[in-house]
Structure 1
Amino acid sequence: MRTTHPHPTNAVEPPIAGTAEARRVSPNAGWWRVIGTVLGIMLLLVAYYWVHKPLDLSLVLRLGGLLLDLAVNIALFVAGGALGRALLASLNWAVVSRGERIAFEALAGLGVISTGALLAGMAGLFRGVFLWLIVAVAFLIAMRRGGGSWLVDARAFTRALRPIDRWARLWGIVACALLAMALARALAPPFAWDALNYHLVGPARYLSEGRIVPAPDNFYLGFPQLLELLFGVAMSAFGRDTVAAPLHFGFGVLGLILVAGLVRRHTDVRAGWLAVALPLSATSFWLLFGWPYVDLAVFAYGAAVLVAAVNWREHRETGWLVVAGVALGFGAGTKYTAGLLAIGLAAMIVVEARSRALRPLLLAGGVA
């Protein structure tokens, strides 16, 4: 008996789903799966961010606040730099790099602005309108005496920061990456213990009272307060305490510029970049760039004392000894421990000048 086949023996069997043959027959099937998966993920993200909005009014205000903090700091550093250029115009700047010059001038100008804030606070004028009037007057006077060229030099300096070889480029990338991360921390709300207990408490209290007042309940406010007074000037602009840490960050950058400039002049560009990257790789030092403390101001003024003293030793120009004394005074006005720099400066003067050391010692000490 013959068996009847339902299909002809030469008919082509349909491919089994999921096999390579089936995919060859239906090449678009895989793409539809991809499109469906992507659309599903997009719908999931839309549903999530519909509830958890990534950008709302409060976040916009916070981002705007960060821009205000940066703007206030830029204004202070530009005013300080212009004032410093007017005050230190008679120095022989040919012996230092452009970066060292703008750092010296900014540190000098900011120290003078802080001194003006101190006088205003003692006179009962520690309020935003009077403090920024001091900054504006200092800036205008400096501009009339050629202080505007400081900003030109600062721009030229930043544009010239291009490492020339592989190693310098490596250290430059490391340094810039560490500084960028530190700046992100500096723009965050303050949380460090010292900041919340006295570095920001003093300026806030002075602004509230409108004058510098004693604080028998907080003995930390008996410390030198050069940088805290600058915090007060910055905070008085918009009432934001988040403006203080970027100011401290800026002092650290000025100190690094001075150190790198000194190293570069006596070695090469690679060593200069390494002199920036190496200290930043130390956790305790790097953390300071994100806190509204005063230690980086001490570091900056200490670097200024060192560079000025080296310049005096190499060129025997009295002006550099005066600058060393001024930086020493501003450093001690920031933190007591900076006064120890006087021992090193005095020892250097005695070793270099020997029997003629009395006059330079009195000059540097008197200025400080």
Structure 2
Amino acid sequence: MSSKRRTKSTTTPKTEQPRATAEALVERGDPKIFVAIVVWLVIFGAIFFSFKLPNFPVSRADVWQRVPWDLFDLIDPPNPVPAVVSSWGNLSQRVPPLLVATAILLGAWATGQLLLRVVCPDPNRRTSERTFFAFALGLSAWSLITLVLGWFGVLSRELFGGLLALAVLAELGLRIFRRKSAPPNEDADDHWRNYNLWLFIIVPFVLCMLLGALLPSTDFDVLEYHLGGPKEYFQAGRIEMLPHNVYTSFPFGTEMLTLLSMVLLGDWYWGAVAGKVVLMSFGPLTALGIYAAGSRWFSTRAGIYAAAIHLTTPWTYRISTIAYAEGGLTFYLFAALYAVMIGYERFHAAAEVRVPWRPFLLAGLCAGSAMACKYPGVLSVVIPLGIAALALPFTRPGERAEQRGGAIRLGLIFALGTAVTIGPWLIKNTIETGNPVYPLVYSVFGGADWDADLNAKWKHGHSPNTYSPLDLAEKVMDVTVKSDWLSPFLFGLAPLAFLLKSKRRLVIWLWAYVGYLFLTYWIFTHRIDRFWVPLIPVVALLAGVGATWSARLSWRILWIGLFGVVSLYHLTMISGPLSLCGYNAYLIDYPLARQHTEGYYSPGLPKLNRELPPGSKVLCVGNAVVFAAEFPNVYNTVFDYSIFDQWFADKQPGVPAGEWKLRPADEIRRKLHDAGITHIYINWAEILRYRDAGSYGYTDFVTPARFAEMQRMGILGPQWPIKDSSGYGPLDDLSPTQLADVQKWVPSLERSIVMPPENKATAVYQRYQIFPVVKSD
């Protein structure tokens, strides 16, 4: 290829793909500003590291003290454990889920590349940007493909595998054809070659994410419905309404990728692990988008800094390894924002008045995908970016009628894209329940298997309990400096982005979006910390920009040194033995990992898995975490109708649930027989948690006395003996409300047993009971 042709193929029109350079954006400043910024960082860092971790009995200072020892122990454990427990040799066990995840990601990339050529083609698009949007479209497409085929009961490994392979072959074939017919665009995004130090720092974090995602999950919500729902779909062979688990009527955009993984692997348990790896990819892919955006609008250096800040933030690791929906929501929020920014850039760079509609179609597809991950996406992505689309034509002088026409066109294009990716979920809910956003907005749409009492309980459990200025200040502190899994670089460096005068307008708009995301979190949600996590990539981008405020060598040396040292702190949090970011036995033997985690939040589950006779079916009371259950079961979540009440209570109008009587013995026996129930498992630990002050509440009909009465009626046999200490909980660990509840049940659940590790007599309560159902003659 001639040098002349090479130059032509890599030249980028200013209206399409501007290449920001560090030299063009850097503000050199004066020594006083340098000193002021150093003082700011020292003060911010001192405040940040002065806090104790809200969710753990340690402080950040304690973690610092452990840094060298914990990291050395990762390489050379002081007391080597048997190889069967933890060994690099156990990595071979990870191969099947890793291969399935790789196949899905490769197929999603290929599908997205094909779609991107249609939705928003740009021959001058950089590799990083093209790859980012290809994954955004491809992963969303495969989520929808799984939904549609699953809805029709076609969960076929052969079909899914064939479609994935077809997408890859089509993309590779198209690339080969284009390479022969046209000179290649040699934009290889090779800027990282000049930043090998940053790669050296972030690679351990990505490796930890991968190894963490390859472990069984231990989170309550994940086990209850993020993985539990796909498991039930997989076992049923189709996607259908689960009236006992209201959470599975949410949009399940990310969960469909988990279901796809289960189908391809042919196993619900290890398929869920493969699905976790697919969902883990949202973290690095978001960082790729941050890098691409930073490079496009600020500088390559800003993009690299921002991506590194995002990847080393413990929140990114935590969300990436737990299989929360926030990983997908965060990814699609940033993708939609990125697409809107492209639209604005093209509009203001173009000579003609015509509005650029393709970026807003892409933005709409990503916004709908964000809402398909989690309902709050309508507040955090669809509404604000939809307004941005409508506002675009008015940001440049012109005829008012023409501006209104442009706004209408862009609004419709954005709405069309949004409808394509969230619409199928709304249609599914409308068919199943009559409410497109079930169980929300019950007062408007109603909903099957739902009533005013359940709706009131739901709203009470998912609404803020105060709007006081004090709480607002507290949440600002949580989001900026206090949360366990923050990085000090996020809000320590992001304000410095204002120093870049040439990009101050864009910086102000990005900060405004961050403020909007925080306020919607505080005003409209029940303020669980992960609900504000989607603002992190926007702050990371600003922080990366802030880190480029000066071209001074002294600043670069200081910044790189700070980043390297603090990264050791973050790596200790992520991978250390305190497990501050979640389960991290990276090299554990897989069967042992399954055994270790199957009893999380459900202490009786391991015993049931081991000791139930073949053909058993269990009614679970107070226990909705049944993902690890290897037996047929019936359960309900705390926000669904209580199956125990529906089956066994002789309800009387106006009589409190605690005073209801049991139905006649023959009627109860018949119900148990018709449902095939052979055992009843009661999780008292969870029931106590639900009945605690400020929690969701639990039906008063369920008490130990009720099961004792069922024994006297000849319905239940003797309860299974519990010899393992894990079946008991110290009374000292209970709150006053929980302790009062247990004491009402005396002597049903109270015991005094010898508990490890002190091996002394301890007052405890029985955490669960298991009763066999007496067989009818």
TM-score normalized with structure 2 length: 0.37
Give 2:303's aligned residue: 272
Let me know the Cα RMSD of the aligned residues. 2.9
The 1:169–1:83 alpha-carbon spacing in structure 2 relative to 1, beyond 3 Å, is same
The 1:149–1:281 alpha-carbon spacing in structure 2 relative to 1, beyond 3 Å, is farther
Structure 1 distance, partners of 2:188, 2:102, is: 16
Q: Which amino acid aligns with 1:349?
A: A
Give 1:357 deviation, angstroms.
0.9
Q: 3-state SS of the aligned residue for 1:336?
A: coil
Unmatched 5+ residue regions in structure 1?
1-47
Give 1:300 deviation, angstroms.
1.3
Q: Which amino acid aligns with 1:84?
A: G
> Quick one: higher RCO (CA 8 Å, sep 6+), 1 or 2?
1
Cα deviations across residues 102-137 of structure 1 (Å, max 9, x unaligned)?
111122112112211111111111243333333334
1:327 partnered with 2:366: yes
Cα deviations across residues 308-333 of structure 1 (Å, max 9, x unaligned)?
11111111332211111111111111
1:192 partnered with 2:216: no
8 A Cα contact 1:70 1:246, kept in partner:
yes
Cα deviations across residues 82-108 of structure 1 (Å, max 9, x unaligned)?
111112214343554211111111221
**Of Structure 1 and Structure 2, which has the larger fraction of its residues in helix?**
1
Give 2:162's aligned residue: 133
Give 1:362's aligned residue: 412
Give 2:112's aligned residue: 84
8 A Cα contact 1:116 1:134, kept in partner:
no
Give 1:203's aligned residue: 230
The 1:63–1:286 alpha-carbon spacing in structure 2 relative to 1, beyond 3 Å, is closer
Q: Which amino acid aligns with 2:328?
A: A
Structure 2 matches for 1:278-317, cutoff 5 A?
278-316=309-347, 317=356
1:74 to 74, 77, 102: 102
Unmatched 5+ residue regions in structure 2?
1-78, 348-355, 395-402, 419-777
1:344 partnered with 2:384: yes
Structure 1 distance, partners of 2:148, 2:278, is: 21
Aligned residues: 310
Structure 2 distance, partners of 1:149, 1:235, is: 35
The 1:148–1:273 alpha-carbon spacing in structure 2 relative to 1, beyond 3 Å, is farther
Q: Which amino acid aligns with 1:312?
A: G
The 1:322–1:276 alpha-carbon spacing in structure 2 relative to 1, beyond 3 Å, is same
8 A Cα contact 1:127 1:207, kept in partner:
no
Give 2:192's aligned residue: 162
Structure 2 distance, partners of 1:55, 1:185, is: 18
The 1:120–1:251 alpha-carbon spacing in structure 2 relative to 1, beyond 3 Å, is same
Give 2:352's aligned residue: none
The 1:235–1:62 alpha-carbon spacing in structure 2 relative to 1, beyond 3 Å, is farther
Q: 3-state SS of the aligned residue for 1:180?
A: helix
Give 1:177 deviation, angstroms.
2.6
Cα deviations across residues 13-48 of structure 1 (Å, max 9, x unaligned)?
xxxxxxxxxxxxxxxxxxxxxxxxxxxxxxxxxxx9
Q: Which amino acid aligns with 1:315?
A: R
Give 1:361 deviation, angstroms.
0.6
Structure 2 distance, partners of 1:60, 1:260, is: 32
2:393 to 349, 353, 357: 353
1:223 to 242, 250, 260: 250
Q: Relative to structure 2, which stretch is displaced further, 185-194 or 137-146?
A: 137-146
Structure 2 distance, partners of 1:147, 1:207, is: 37
The 1:254–1:55 alpha-carbon spacing in structure 2 relative to 1, beyond 3 Å, is same
8 A Cα contact 2:116 2:134, kept in partner:
yes
8 A Cα contact 1:252 1:289, kept in partner:
yes
Structure 2 distance, partners of 1:147, 1:230, is: 29
Give 2:128's aligned residue: 99
The 1:61–1:171 alpha-carbon spacing in structure 2 relative to 1, beyond 3 Å, is closer
Q: Relative to structure 2, which stretch is displaced further, 258-267 or 176-185?
A: 176-185
8 A Cα contact 2:133 2:335, kept in partner:
yes
8 A Cα contact 1:108 1:327, kept in partner:
yes
Q: Which amino acid aligns with 2:192?
A: R
